[in-house]
Amino acid sequence: MSVTLESACELHPQVAIRPEPFGALAYHYGNRKLVFLKHPDVVAVLQDVASYDSVADTLRAHHVAPERWDAFISALSSLETSEILRVRQ
């Protein structure tokens, strides 16, 4: 499944986020994937996405400019492929 603006998402329960000066590290304890998150705004959205009904609501709440939304959807879709993020059922 691909992440869309309408998707309701959450961090996978086996994922830990560790803040770093460059952004953060996301580690999945189940599949042992390590992902470097290089943009603090992506980290903030990722950490807060479960609090909102959709990705679009999360982006609005974090004051992400609409012209950047496609880049965020691409990044979140990649994180879903890595099982860092998942779409809520």
Q: Which domain holds residue 17?
A: 9-87
**In Å, how far are 27, 56, 72, 75 from 7, measured between CA atoms?**
22, 8, 13, 14
Would you say residue 59 lies in a domain?
yes
For residue 34, what is the domain's CATH number?
A: 3.90.930
Number of structural domains (the chain) is 1
Asked if residues 9 and 86 have their Cβ atoms less than 8 Å apart, the reply is: yes
pTM for the structure as a whole: 0.91
**38 CB neighbour count, 10 Å cutoff:** 12
With a cut of 90, say whether residue 71 has pLDDT above it.
yes
Residue 1 has pLDDT above 70, yes or no: no
In a domain, 75, yes or no: yes
Write the pLDDT tens digit of every residue in 28-55.
999 999 999 999 999 999 999 999 999 9
